[in-house]
Structure 1
Amino acid sequence: MAARRPTGPALLLAALLVALTVVPGEVNTRAAPAAPAMQAPPFDHIFVVLEENQDYDRILGSDEAPFINSLINDNFLQTDYHALNHGSLPDYLGLVSGSEQLQAIGTPPTDCTPQWTRSPPSCVVTAADPSNITDLIEHSGRSWRAYLQAMGQPCRWQSQTADYDIIHNPFVYFETIEGGNAVSSQRCVDHDVDMYADPRHSLHADLMSASTTPNFVFIVPGNRYNMHDNQFKGADDFLRDILTGTNRSGQNGINAVNIFSSPAWTTGRSIAYIVWDEDSGTRVNHVVAIQVGNWVNRPSGEDGATFNHYSMLKTWEVAWGLPPIQQAGGDASARPMLAAFNLSNEPPNGQTSNRLTLRNAHPEVFAQLQANLRSPGRTASLLTVFGNDGVQKIRLYVSPNGTLAVDNGVAGTTASSSVAFGTGWHSVQIHVWARGNGGTCDVAYDGHLIAALSQLGTCSTGRSPIGSVVLGDAEPGQAGAVDVRYPAIATSRL
């Protein structure tokens, strides 16, 4: 097994935004307040894959899980992430509802199965709407679906098999979904389906377009492919299959799933969370949680802060502006996991430059700094965004008359505003989402959007992702016009 990647404060600092004071031609690396991402990106699609019963240290660096380790190396790892309890059921319920639901499953928790035919029913959650994340998702106008491998019939709570465990299907435990009767509701039948065999909503069929792909996709591999009972190869192969379209497991041949090539993944804001429900039974319950996609700080991004399943649920709520499910505790008091959206951009040791090159190009970037205009009457560049092809996309600057303006290097246009840059230090932020002629460019000054400098969905940005941001003076003859400090770059609003 390869050596464990270090955890702790050093990695947290490495993953956070650099907080610097920059004078013309020089970077000052003294500590200063950072402006981390305050939100998660408003994702169009969130994909979740639940794996089973493995220790963090057993997976990391394991030769038995090459694909999973490639995901870790290429994306973002929470290095101190923990499950809630032992037994699958409290962890699955906690992840989707913000509570282990001990009033329903017992203390200590048991892996019981729902009994909707009894009066009153047992081992079920009868809390009023919203009782789980899917209630909130539907109230927000979004869609969801759970895809369970080898479940057979939809919304199956009556029986299980060697490959399908009811306790890995949290949604059939909630009355707001199942309906509370021996015959399940149409809502449950439509939204809780077999991954491959459902004739209406196989994952393959739903991924054919972005519009048919649910906003929230919850995937549960069967027991031969979820690392249950230490079946590393099957789980590693199957995860590779559904993410990339291969068929190493032999399960992804008919109605093949390929999330990374789907329109939902390639055309919008999407993220995948790969997480284990619990470890092998230790007191620490330390598990792997990986955040995957173009909106995370990668490659080899890491965060050493302590989180758990409630934190992941809270992150989804924050991304979509949803209220917590619980009134107190659980997701109500959890902190969201936002470090993945902070882009580490610290220059190499000894380098002095006002160009911050991202470790990996990103389609969407928010860049912010504080600026102080030193020489009124001169053009003073504040923030300039470049594609990874070196082409200047957008430049925010102070014009000679003292007002804020934007040059669009892709379109060859200039936009001016009546907003004057005041004396002293002020905050400016630029947001660019590179989507060809349908991109987004917006500018904020001291937290207020400048409409004259903003184009939402109509900005010509080119297709190349964003590779670097220049802070302050960028052109000959402008040196000394402005001082900048506290730069921050993220894939979500700062």
Structure 2
Amino acid sequence: TPPSASVQAGQTVQLTGTPRDAGGNPLSGRTVTWSSSNTAVATVSNSGLVSGVTPGSITISATSEGKSGTAAITVTSSGGAPFRHVFIVVEENTNYASVIGSSAMPYLSSLAQQYGLATQYYANTHPSIGNYFMMTVGDIFTNDDSYGGTVSEDNVVRQLLKAGKTWKSYAEDLPSVGYHTPGETGNYASRHNPFSYLTDVVNDPVQLNNLVPFTQFPTDLANGALPNYSFIVPNLCNDAHDCSLGTADSWLQANIDPLIKSATFQQDGLLIILFDESDSDHTNGGGRVVWVVVSPKAKRGYQSTTFYQHQSTLRLTLKALGVTAFPNAAASAPDMDEFFMP
């Protein structure tokens, strides 16, 4: 006993094995032998003390005089969810070489040098909208930037809510909270805000309130009210779609650097800054783009040569929050664990 238990890796849980006679009465003085079905997941001592080794599920058996009993043991990660706050900032339509190795975006380049850079990261398609859906739905879904319908496929919001996590989309120049009309309004473009198409959002008045203007972001940061998952959408100028890379870089430094330096982020934050697609490259669908990860738990000065696409970003953003179900292409996408310290 107990018949099932959960233990964190590196921690222990005590099991008890009590031999009984045919009438169910305890038998004293009997020797109990313990065994684990997989000692790589958990070990068990001669006294029934189970030690978690690595996440997984195993069976512990107790045997005495030919009779056996079992307990199902689940070993969980030692820290539960690795992060409590995940942030994604998406920039627009730029080739990898226009940023890395150039002087166009000194602030972003400094983050790439200091933290983690994926040197073989490729967008999935052209134009924009399908890449944004791959980051959030795990499927291109459409390549029509003028798409005016909804998306009912499995998606990041559905999985976050199932796992009890919170989320917001912070879109610069969003006309109002809950605004989800397709198209452009001023410098806001719905095609850069995939959450505004998800049926899990637009058909739920509660979730609709998580579509907020970016002006809410510094307030939430200052008040300790940031959700677990934040999707940050600069406007058409500040994401380098209509304005220069220098403008986008200055926006990042003004608006994202305070986040990085905050106590909240330094405790348990993960930030990804990436481009939705390249400008003129069609390799692997959407061309080679910049992908930078910033976190106190990220390896410093790390460059990866592994091939990744947007479905791996979707997988990472959920996995980082302890979510274990991944929508569509994210289910089989390569993990991005290499960027983080063990």
Same fold by TM-score greater than 0.5 = yes
In structure 2, give the amino acid aligned to 1:71: L
TM-score (norm 1): 0.51
Match of 2:298 among 292, 296, 299: 296
**Residue correspondence of structure 1 range 303-382 to structure 2 within 5 A:** 303-319=304-320, 320-326=322-328, 330-342=329-341
Aligned to 2:256: 243
Counterpart Cα distance in 1 of 2:261 and 2:113: 20
Task: Give deviations 1:226-285, integer Å, cap 9, x for gaps.
Answer: 1114511110000001122xxxxxxxxxxxxx212334213x211100010000132211
SS in 1 for 2:307: strand
Match of 2:105 among 65, 79, 83: 65
Match of 2:96 among 44, 47, 56: 56
In structure 1, give the amino acid aligned to 2:105: A
Aligned to 1:264: 264
Counterpart Cα distance in 2 of 1:309 and 1:223: 21
Aligned to 2:157: 134
Question: 1:314 Cα deviation (Å)?
Answer: 1.1
Task: Give deviations 1:45-98, integer Å, cap 9, x for gaps.
Answer: 001101000000111122121111111111110110011100110000110011
Q: Verify the 8 A CA contact 2:200 2:207 in the aligned structure 1.
A: no
Aligned to 1:461: none
Q: Does 1:112 align with 2:146?
A: yes
Counterpart Cα distance in 2 of 1:281 and 1:151: 29
Cα distance change on mapping 1:59 and 1:41 into 2, 3 Å = farther
Counterpart Cα distance in 1 of 2:326 and 2:189: 28
Cα distance change on mapping 1:112 and 1:82 into 2, 3 Å = same
Aligned to 1:124: 150
Q: Does 1:195 align with 2:214?
A: yes
Counterpart Cα distance in 2 of 1:289 and 1:60: 10
Q: Does 1:176 align with 2:195?
A: no
Q: Verify the 8 A CA contact 1:324 1:332 in the aligned structure 2.
A: yes
Aligned to 2:84: 44
Task: Give deviations 1:134-178, integer Å, cap 9, x for gaps.
Answer: 121122111110100011212333252341111001011111110
Counterpart Cα distance in 2 of 1:262 and 1:160: 33
**Residue correspondence of structure 1 range 6-21 to structure 2 within 5 A:** none
Aligned to 2:279: 280
**Residue correspondence of structure 1 range 137-156 to structure 2 within 5 A:** 137-156=160-179
Counterpart Cα distance in 2 of 1:87 and 1:157: 20
Q: Verify the 8 A CA contact 1:113 1:157 in the aligned structure 2.
A: no
Counterpart Cα distance in 1 of 2:81 and 2:302: 17
Cα distance change on mapping 1:53 and 1:315 into 2, 3 Å = same
Counterpart Cα distance in 2 of 1:281 and 1:170: 23
Q: Does 1:206 align with 2:206?
A: no
Aligned to 2:140: 100
Counterpart Cα distance in 2 of 1:41 and 1:126: 27
**Structure 1, gaps ≥5 residues long:** 1-34, 115-122, 180-184, 197-201, 245-257, 343-489
In structure 1, give the amino acid aligned to 2:315: K
SS in 1 for 2:305: strand
Q: Verify the 8 A CA contact 2:159 2:323 in the aligned structure 1.
A: no
Question: 1:41 Cα deviation (Å)?
Answer: 6.1
Counterpart Cα distance in 2 of 1:204 and 1:318: 26
Aligned to 1:360: none
Aligned to 2:43: none
Question: 1:188 Cα deviation (Å)?
Answer: 4.0
Aligned to 2:68: none
Aligned to 2:11: none
Counterpart Cα distance in 2 of 1:163 and 1:230: 11
Aligned to 2:180: 157
Counterpart Cα distance in 2 of 1:207 and 1:318: 23
Match of 1:90 among 130, 138, 146: 130
Counterpart Cα distance in 2 of 1:86 and 1:133: 21
Counterpart Cα distance in 2 of 1:340 and 1:242: 24
Counterpart Cα distance in 2 of 1:138 and 1:280: 35
Aligned to 2:118: 78
**Structure 2, gaps ≥5 residues long:** 1-53, 55-76
Percent identical residues:
25
In structure 1, give the amino acid aligned to 2:312: S
Counterpart Cα distance in 2 of 1:63 and 1:318: 34
Q: Verify the 8 A CA contact 1:209 1:262 in the aligned structure 2.
A: no
Aligned to 2:191: 167
**Residue correspondence of structure 1 range 390-401 to structure 2 within 5 A:** none
In structure 2, give the amino acid aligned to 1:316: T
**Residue correspondence of structure 1 range 434-473 to structure 2 within 5 A:** none
Counterpart Cα distance in 1 of 2:238 and 2:113: 22
Question: 1:215 Cα deviation (Å)?
Answer: 0.6
**Residue correspondence of structure 1 range 27-38 to structure 2 within 5 A:** none
Task: Give deviations 1:422-457, integer Å, cap 9, x for gaps.
Answer: xxxxxxxxxxxxxxxxxxxxxxxxxxxxxxxxxxxx
TM-score (norm 2): 0.72
SS in 1 for 2:185: coil
Aligned to 1:231: 244
In structure 2, give the amino acid aligned to 1:314: R
Q: Verify the 8 A CA contact 1:76 1:290 in the aligned structure 2.
A: yes
In structure 1, give the amino acid aligned to 2:293: Q
Counterpart Cα distance in 1 of 2:209 and 2:152: 20
Counterpart Cα distance in 1 of 2:242 and 2:101: 19
